[in-house]
Chains A and B, each alone.
Chain A
Amino acid sequence: MSSIIGFYSLCLSSIISIIVLIPNSITNIKIKNFLFLCRCSTLFVCISFLSLVFAYVNSDFSNFNVFQNSHSDKPLIYKITGVWGNHEGSILLWLCMISIYGLLYSLISKSLNDFKILVLKIQSALFVIFAMFVIFTSNPFLINSILIKEGLGLNPILQDPALAIHPPMLYLGYVGFSLVFSLAIASLLKKNNDQDWIIETRKWSMISWGFLTAGIALGSYWAYYELGWGGWWFWDPVENISLMPWITGLALVHSLIMIRGEQAIEKWIVFLAILCFSLSILGTFLVRSGILTSVHSFASDASRGLFILLIFFLTTGFGFLVFLIKSPTKKNDLNLLFINKTSALIINNILMIIAVLTILLGTIYPIIIEVITNTRVSVGGPYFNSTVLPILLPGFLLMSVAPVLSWQTNKIQKFKIYVIFFIILSAVVCIQSYFTNFNTWGFIGLILGSWIITASIISIFLRFKFSLSLYYIKIINSFIAHIGVGVMIIGITFSSIYQKEYNFNVTVGDKINIDNVVLKFESIDIVEEKNYQSLRANFLLEKKGQLINYIKPGRNYYPVSKMITTEAGIYHDWLKDIYITLGNNNNDVWFIKIYINPLISFIWIGVFIMIFSSIIAILKK
């Protein structure tokens, strides 16, 4: 029943959206009625999505999609999140979000009616295209032809709290860029001279970027504790794909700042806005078509891939075509100096786009080579580390002082103080690296991260009088964001370069001495949980004879899908994580791997600061 309701309301919603697309000159519709139609469409697509959720919650196995991806034994939360744990459901969620973004825009925007209608029309057009994709290739409401009492179950590695909210967050980011895309195209078609749309674009791109950041961070945190490889970023094709719109979005957000210096380069902003959404769709295509080998290719199907490729060419082609024909002609003379704020922003934009193109090339290079020469090559982490990082390096250096640069001149106020602090800082870092293992990248990362933090803090104190108010936080917001990046750089540097790794074969009762702590292997426990069996090794963590915590690495066995997942045991501390994975056993001897990850918490703290600062930026008028 819910499948039928879901499918019909989806169709109804697309039909309404098609009606919305009819030019005004024919229907002569009033703005009030137009908005009403848009809202109806949103309402129906939400009903459609909710009825799918309903089918999942009730374990309605007459629905083929529920049958394939759910099981009545699962906890309620994973029944709900199972909705987007598969291709069809997640695309429906994507569709639902396109519509909701349109709705929110129509509620919040203060633009003129003409412009608003145009934006909503483009948004509806996108909606219709993706609705066709759902209906024709990825229908989640197919009915099972035979009566079945039990489902096949959700992939166990997706049954995890972080991964439950990772897809919606990521999609809120990706799909948010659809609205940014619509705004940009509308601005090209309308050619109004006021700059309202830039202010709106700024708000929406900030929101999308914030969600994308949260989504990516959740994904990598999941990879950190679930995959059990000790790291959190693997330059996996899918990670690269999410990184591309993220960096482009970051460039967009930065170039939108230039309106404050009244030097908005509209052309560039429009270009970035179109690029952002194109990269989001391209990413979806590469993941869903199964062209790339990756941990995410859970739903690969050639016909779907072809359809998304079509969507990609349609939207991107349309976008860039409009951009070429109607590109803004107004020429702003940029006030470029060595080095003022404008040029700093431009350099940062250039570097980011080059980084994006490099990541894109590295990601699709194996496909290109395979098509041309029929040989297989890999492009992985080591390539990206040795190309993307050096390219971004000057950008990181620049960001430490960029917010204090002035728009008009190339003088920095109180320049001497910065020099003095930089010299002190370098001396400290040099001494530090002399006494520990010297590593070039470690040295660079540490000096860069701490310099960004120091310079930002100095700037805050020199330029703004401290007060405990929201206003104060708003004006120092860009510094806060940059401090977040600095903290993250330090975290990344330490956790990747000074990571220590130990292998042991242990039996119950053994004691291990590492890094000033003692790990005592207490026991091996097997516990029956609701839908899986868990095997846990119980380690006591002791420091100077005192019990600090338990660490419980292990494995879960899911009988429904007959899969085993590894569960790393992690002791989180502000300064280091102790990370244990349990390997195979030989009689009573267990193989374990212990990683000491110094300062890895800084990465997550840095991300939090960045998200916090993006929220502040959204609040800022």
Chain B
Amino acid sequence: MMKLQNFFKFFLFTFFITFSYTSFSKENINDNVKKLTLELRCMTCQNQSVYDSDSDFAKDIKKIVKEKFKEGLNEKEIKDFLTERYGEYILFKPYFSSKNLLLWLFPFVLLVISMLVFIRNLKKN
């Protein structure tokens, strides 16, 4: 009984974490445009994404993104193109790069460390 219980608990934890990285959905250009423009800042608005905004700037960007997708560029290439033009300010989700290492690793490093400390205390008991 105890074993089952423990297994069940572990199962629950791993289940969701592994599951969150698999996806089965099909994607087309419009979905791609939506997904990408949601991650871009409308630079003439107050904290609004390009996708949500109706400003002229946002309309232009949407058009550019769509064209680039049609030309066969992938998400990364389009982002590179846009950041070259407008700076990294346009990305709501900064690149995972050496410069932004602190931003991206901090939460997860903290998580791992605190879990290790927790497990160590657990064993002591």
Q: Indicate whether A376 sits within 8 Å of B49 (C-beta atoms), given known contacts A350-B118, A438-B24.
A: no
Could you say which of A173-181, A387-395, A470-478 contacts chain B? A387-395
Interchain nearest-CB distance for A329 vs B (Å): 19
Stretch in contact with the other chain, from A52-60, A126-134, A356-364: A356-364
Q: Which residues of B contact A394 (CB under 8 A)?
A: 13, 16-17
Instruction: Compute how far the CA of A224 lies from the CA of B5 in the bound complex, rounded to whole angstroms.
Output: 43
A382, B92: Cβ atoms under 8 Å? yes
Give the chain A neighbours of B114 by CB distance below 8 A. Answer: 350, 354
* Cβ–Cβ contact A377 & B47, under 8 A: no
Q: How many A-B residue pairs have CB under 8 A?
A: 130
B28 within 8 A of A: no
341-359 of chain A: CB within 8 A of chain B: 343, 346-347, 350-351, 354, 357-358
Q: Which residue of B lies closest to A229 (CB)?
A: B52
Give the distance in Å from the alpha carbon of A230 to the alpha carbon of B49 in the complex: 12
B contacts, CB < 8 Å to A: 1, 4-6, 8-9, 12-13, 16-17, 19-25, 38-39, 41, 46-49, 52, 54, 87-94, 100, 102-104, 106-108, 110-111, 114-115, 118, 121-122, 125
Question: Which residues on the A side are within 8 Å of B24 (C-beta)?
Answer: 438
A28 at the interface (CB under 8 A from B): no
CB-CB < 8 A to B110: which residues of A?
A: 354, 357-358
Question: Given contacts A334-B121, A380-B47, are A339 and B93 in contact (CB under 8 A)?
Answer: no
Task: List residues 425-455 of chain A with CB under 8 A from any CB of chain B.
Answer: 437-441, 443-444, 448
- For A376, the chain B residues whose CB sits under 8 A away are 87-89
- Asked whether A375 lies within 8 Å of B87 as measured between CB atoms, the reply is yes
Q: In the complex, which residues of chain B have a beta carbon less than 8 angstroms from the beta carbon of A336?
A: 118, 121-122, 125
Chain A 584-619 near chain B by CB (<8 Å), digits 1 or 0: 000000000000000000000000000000000000
Q: Mark A361-379, 1 if CB is under 8 A from B, else 0.
A: 1100100000000011111
Tell me the smallest distance from the CB of B43 to a CB of chain A, in Å.
9
A549 on the B face (CB < 8 A): no
The answer to whether A354 and B107 touch across the interface, beta carbons within 8 angstroms, is yes
Q: How far is the CB of B109 from chain A (nearest CB, A)?
A: 10
Tell me if B89 and A444 are in contact (CB < 8 A): no
* 3 A-B pairs with least C-beta separation: A380-B92, A382-B93, A358-B107
Residue of B nearest to A379 (CB): B94
Q: How many of chain A's residues have a CB under 8 angstroms from any CB in B?
A: 56
Contact of B48 among A229, A347, A354 (CB under 8 A): A229
Contact A378–B125 (Cβ < 8 Å)? no
Output the least CB separation between B104 and chain A (Å): 8
A318 contacts B by Cβ under 8 Å: no
Interface residues of A (CB under 8 A from B): 229-231, 234, 236-237, 293-295, 334-339, 343, 346-347, 350-351, 354, 357-358, 361-362, 365, 375-383, 386-388, 390-391, 393-394, 397, 411-412, 415, 419, 437-441, 443-444, 448, 583
- Cβ–Cβ contact A378 & B89, under 8 A: yes
Give the residue of A378, A388, A397 whose beta carbon is less than 8 angstroms from that of B91.
A378
CA distance A337 to B13 in the complex (A): 17
Q: Is the CB of A438 within 8 A of B91?
A: no
Pick the contact of A377: B88, B118, B121 (CB < 8 A).
Answer: B88
* Contact call A383/B5, Cβ cutoff below 8 A: no
The verdict on A444 contacting B121 (CB below 8 Å), with A381-B49, A583-B54 known, is: no
| A354 pairs with B111, CB closer than 8 A | yes
Q: Which of B4, B47, B48, B93 has most A Cβ within 10 Å?
A: B47
Indicate if the CB atoms of A412 and B5 lie closer than 8 Å. Answer: yes
Instruction: Tell me if B107 and A378 are in contact (CB < 8 A).
Output: no
Instruction: Decide yes or no: A294 and B41 within 8 Å by CB, A391-B107, A415-B1, A438-B24 being known contacts.
Output: no
B86, chain A: closest CB distance, angstroms: 10
User: How far apart sit A346 and B107, CA to CA, in the bound complex (Å)?
Assistant: 17
Q: Quick one: which of A237, A382, A439 contacts B38, CB cutoff 8 A?
A: A382
Q: Most chain-B CB neighbours within 10 Å: which of A362, A440, A448?
A: A440
Interface pair A443/B89, CB less than 8 Å apart:
no
Which residue from chain A places its CB closest to the CB of B24 in the assembled complex? A438
Contacting pair B107 A393 (CB below 8 A): no
Q: Provided the pairs A350-B114, A380-B41, A440-B23 are in contact, do residues A397 and B13 lie with their beta carbons within 8 angstroms?
A: yes
Distance, CA A527 to CA B23, complexed state (A) = 50
Q: Which residues of A contact B20 (CB under 8 A)?
A: 390, 393, 440-441, 444
Q: Can you list 24 contacts pairing A with B, beta carbon distance less than 8 Å?
A: A236-B47, A334-B121, A337-B125, A347-B118, A354-B111, A357-B106, A358-B107, A361-B102, A361-B103, A375-B87, A376-B87, A378-B91, A379-B93, A381-B38, A381-B49, A382-B92, A382-B93, A383-B93, A383-B103, A391-B111, A393-B16, A397-B12, A438-B24, A440-B23
* Minimal beta-carbon separation of B47 from chain A (angstroms): 5
Q: A386 vs B102: C-alpha distance in the bound complex, in angstroms?
A: 15
User: Pick the contact of B25 from A343, A379, A390, A437 — CB < 8 Å?
Assistant: A437
Task: List 8 additional A-B contacts (Cβ < 8 Å) besides A229-B52, A354-B107.
Answer: A350-B114, A350-B115, A354-B111, A361-B103, A377-B91, A377-B100, A380-B49, A441-B20
A440's partner among B22, B91, B122 (CB-CB below 8 A) is B22
Q: How far is the CA of A316 from the CA of B89 in the complex (A)?
A: 32
Residues of A within 8 A of B46 (CB): 293-295
Chain A residues with CB under 8 A of B1? 415
B47 pairs with A444, CB closer than 8 A:
no
A393 to B111: give the CA distance in the assembly, Å: 12
Complex Cα spacing A441 to B16, Å: 10
**Chain B nearest CB, measured from A449 CB (Å):** 13
Does A379 lie within 8 Å of B54, measured CB to CB? Answer: no
Chain A nearest CB from B5 CB (Å) reads 6
A347 to B116: give the CA distance in the assembly, Å.
Answer: 12
CB of B122 within 8 A of CB of A375, answer no
Please tell me if the beta carbons of B19 and A230 are within 8 angstroms of each other in the complex.
no
Q: Which of A361, A381, A412 contacts B92 (CB 8 A)?
A: A381
**Contact across chains for A397 and B94 when beta carbons are under 8 A apart:** no
Contacts of A377 in B (CB 8 A): 88-89, 91, 94, 100
Chain B nearest Cβ from A119, distance in angstroms: 32
Measured between alpha carbons, how far is A365 from B93 in the docked complex, in Å? 12
Complex Cα gap A381–B41 (Å):
10
